[in-house]
Chains A and B, each alone.
Chain A
Amino acid sequence: MNVIEASNLSKRYGSTHALRECTLAIPAGHVTALVGPNGAGKSTLLNLVVGLLAPSEGSLSVLGSCRPGSLAALDGIAFVAQDTPLYKNVSAADMLHLTRNLNRHFDWTYAEARLGELGIPLKRKAGKLSGGQQAQLALTLALARHPKLLVLDEPVAMLDPIARHDFMATVLVAAAEDGVSVVLSSHVLAELERSADYIILMSQGKVQVAGEVDDLLAGHRILSGPAADAAAYTELPVVHARQGEVQTHLLVRTSMDDRVPRGWESHPVGLEELVLAYLREPDASALPGPLRSSVIDASEARR
């Protein structure tokens, strides 16, 4: 089952495109990172998925074949929006009551136990909790619904490192124990490498990269070699080239067994480096399926 499936999905505000013809399919059972610069369309995509926005064009289905915003979708998807909205004057216990009343399934035992573990007093008003505690409360409310898909919009942006670690640990344990699929957006790359196993890179409203992290990393290498030979290199599709006076680094799409030319070195590429390279080449894309011609075009353009 694909937890999110979009086909030519567009969202327009007047003449501005927040999303342009996005096509993607995120399989279930993954922790998916949605990355991209500010304004790339990440929040727009997530809002469309949870039914807070309606598409301008194209189609979007969630949890297999449910329409976003339908009862089945609302039931199976839990959303924690940016800045973790909670009712500031409502106590943690009352937030549990509210969520229990508003949903078909709510695991009160889990929620209460979790808040106890975290040291969040039930009687305290949500507005009086610290930033990290508010985020954990919102996450607890979401996870207590035992959703099939957990959607998080920049969940850790405002948190200190410890709170960030604890928050992600909670999310990942839920993925491990409950099989919850997770889609979370962030513009902080460094931490995503260890938590995400599927990545979607968006830029300027379009999907540039989509795929399993392991496959993407295995399918790219950095070839370092003499700058003079860079222009002549034609064997593999080059995504991005970093030229120095003497040395050049080429990010290429490849597989492990591809030959490394004499005088060159082949290094594995890290997720952050890969993402940055694609961000610098807006016309390049790495999408599931056979090697795209768009990547080859980009390397041809270099000659």
Chain B
Amino acid sequence: MMAPAVSPRSKEVASLRPLPWRRMAWVTWRQHRAALIGLVVALAAIAAYTWTVGLQLHHAYAAQLACRPAGSDACLQLTSGFNSVGGFLTNGWILQLVPALIGAFVGAPVLARELETGTYRYAWTQGFGRWRWTLAKLAGLAVAVTAAAGAISVLFSWYYQPYFSAGNEARNLSELASLAPSLFDLRGVALAAWTLAAFSIGVLAGMLIRKVVPAIVATLFVYSGLAIATGSWLRAHYLAPLVTRSLNVPNAVWIVSQNWMTKAGQTVSQSVLYQVLQGAPAQVAGKDGGGPNLHALAAWQYLVEHGYTQVTSYQPASRFWAFQWIEAGWLFGLSVLLIVVTVWLVRRRAA
């Protein structure tokens, strides 16, 4: 029939061993180098800025600490100087975008672009095999983004460190709650864990939605929802909050809830309290028509005498690392689950 088949290959055994995983290293790099380089450049820019402002911050802090005598005008100026450094970095919200954007722009396109442009018809018919291809890629990229996020979170931890010293309040220096939502997940291991989670969400979104831009949007939505839910509710309950009934709440704790209650334990609204204070002597109620100050000692004592207590539940700064490991733990578990589901879908579902 045809010319004799002088095939350069020897006879193959019916069952073949899979190709070595390391083959995917170059493949992953070549296909995603734009995203990875973009990631590094963006993080480098953020790092440079944070480093510059951070040096200012640390310098101002050290100067204030060294200043003698403590109450002099010069030292007060240093105090306000320290308090004003940082601008939008101080409350950390802007940096919350980092894991979200990494997840959306590195994670979502991995599978979505192959499916949208049709190149999966090339990639998934090569000898490597489609689910191994997916697993190798995702594992490699996951390690890369987690490491990058981990690296920059070291810088962030260094940046915010002056705000968490115990003696700040006494010196009128800004003191922030270590566990406050906007700052908690920038430091320790949380940023790396959130980045990994965002990446996994992005990857699964890409597989399910099959188009790049909608997958990016979906990733940002889901990630934001998860981050907000964690910050506003879940994280508060990792360990049972401590409760105090005193006026003076300890310094720089993260206040989870603060309510006035009756003796019976029912929550009381502010309007009720104001009404109660109507019956108080003039010096107890607020002056200047500005409304009563419930934290003023006199008003507070009046309310306590009439059977109301302020109950504050909070999480102390000492729990920082415990919370970090708990959060990193469940985020890691979630990420592994999402990646496994993605690989399973690739393996099983029709293209």
Task: Chain B residues near A88: list those with CB within 8 A.
Answer: 117
Contact (Cβ within 8 A) B127 A176: no
B24 on the A face (CB < 8 A)? yes
Q: Which residues of A contact B15 (CB under 8 A)?
A: 71-72
Interface residues of A in 43-78 (CB under 8 A from B): 47, 50-54, 65-66, 69, 71-72, 74-78
Stretch from A101-109, A160-168, A271-279 at the B interface = A101-109
Q: Do the beta carbons of A103 and B30 come within 8 Å of each other?
A: no
Chain B residues closer than 8 Å to A102, beta-carbon distance: 19, 23, 27, 123, 126-128, 133
Q: Taking the complex as formed, is A117 at the interface, i.e. its CB lies under 8 A from any CB of chain B? A: no
What 7 pairs across the A-B complex have the smallest Cβ distances? A179-B5, A81-B121, A102-B126, A103-B127, A79-B125, A71-B16, A101-B23
Which residue of chain A has the shortest Cβ distance to B347 in the bound complex? A69
Q: Which candidate, B6-14, B40-48, B70-78, B158-166, is the interface stretch facing chain A?
A: B6-14
| B16 and A97 form a contact (CB under 8 A) | no
Distance in angstroms between the alpha carbons of A146 and B34 in the assembled complex: 32
A97 to B25 Cα, complex, angstroms: 12
A50 and B125 within 8 A (CB): yes
Chain A: interface residue total (CB-CB under 8 A): 45
Residues of B in contact (CB 8 Å), total 40
- Distance in angstroms between the alpha carbons of A30 and B24 in the assembled complex: 34
A175 near B: Cβ within 8 Å?
Answer: yes
> Roughly how many angstroms separate A146 CA and B12 CA in the complex, as a whole number?
13
Interchain CB contact under 8 A, A87 and B125: no
Supply 21 A–B pairs (Cβ within 8 Å), ascending by A: A51-B125, A52-B121, A52-B350, A54-B350, A69-B130, A72-B15, A74-B125, A74-B127, A74-B129, A75-B12, A85-B118, A85-B121, A94-B30, A101-B26, A102-B19, A104-B16, A104-B19, A107-B8, A146-B8, A146-B9, A179-B7
Task: From known contacts A98-B30, A101-B26, A102-B126, infer whether A176 and B2 are also in contact, taking CB-CB under 8 Å.
Answer: yes
| Known contacts A85-B121, A97-B30; A71/B3 CB under 8 A | no
Please tell me if the beta carbons of A177 and B127 are within 8 angstroms of each other in the complex.
Answer: no
B12 touches A76 (CB 8 A): yes
B264 at the A interface (CB under 8 A): no
Complex: A21 Cα to B340 Cα, angstroms: 35
A75 touches B16 (CB 8 A): yes
Contacts of B30 in A (CB 8 A): 90, 94, 97-98
Which of chain B's residues have a CB closer than 8 A to the CB of A89?
A: 34
Which B residues lie at the A interface, using CB under 8 A? 1-9, 12, 14-19, 23-24, 26-27, 30-31, 34, 117-130, 133, 350-351
A170-B63 Cα distance, complex, nearest whole Å: 77
Point out the residues of chain A lying under 8 angstroms from B350, CB to CB: 52-54
Residues of B within 8 A of A54 (CB): 350
B8 and chain A: residue at smallest CB distance:
A146
Which chain B residues lie closer than 8 Å to A178 at the CB level?
5-7
B127 contact from A30, A65, A71, Cβ within 8 A: A71
Residues of A within 8 A of B127 (CB): 71, 74-75, 102-105, 145
> Given A71-B16, A81-B118, do A101 and B125 touch, yes or no (CB 8 Å)?
no
Name the CB-closest residue of B to A101. B23
Question: Within the complex, what minimum Cβ distance (angstroms) separates B274 from chain A?
Answer: 64
**How far is A163 from B350 in the complex, measured between Cα atoms in Å?**
32
Residues in A with CB closer than 8 Å to B126 are 74, 99, 102-103
In whole angstroms, what is the CA distance A90 to B123 when docked? 14
Distance from A70 Cβ to chain B, minimum over Cβ atoms (Å): 8
Contact between chains at A53 and B122 (CB < 8 Å): no
How distant is A77 from chain B, measured CB to nearest CB, in Å? 7
Contact partners of B2 in chain A: CB under 8 A: 29, 175-176, 179
Q: Assess the B133–A72 pair: CB atoms within 8 A.
A: no
> CB-CB < 8 A to A177: which residues of B?
3, 6
Chain B residues in 8 Å Cβ range of A107: 8
Contact of A29 among B1, B26, B122 (CB under 8 A): B1
A83: Cβ under 8 A from any B Cβ: yes
Q: Which residues of B contact A120 (CB under 8 A)?
A: none
Collect the chain B residues with CB atoms within 8 Å of residue A296's CB: none
Q: Chain B residues with Cβ under 8 A from A176's Cβ?
A: 2-3
- Closest residue to A65 on the B side, CB-wise? B14
A47, A78, A102, A105: most-surrounded residue (chain B CB, <10 A): A102
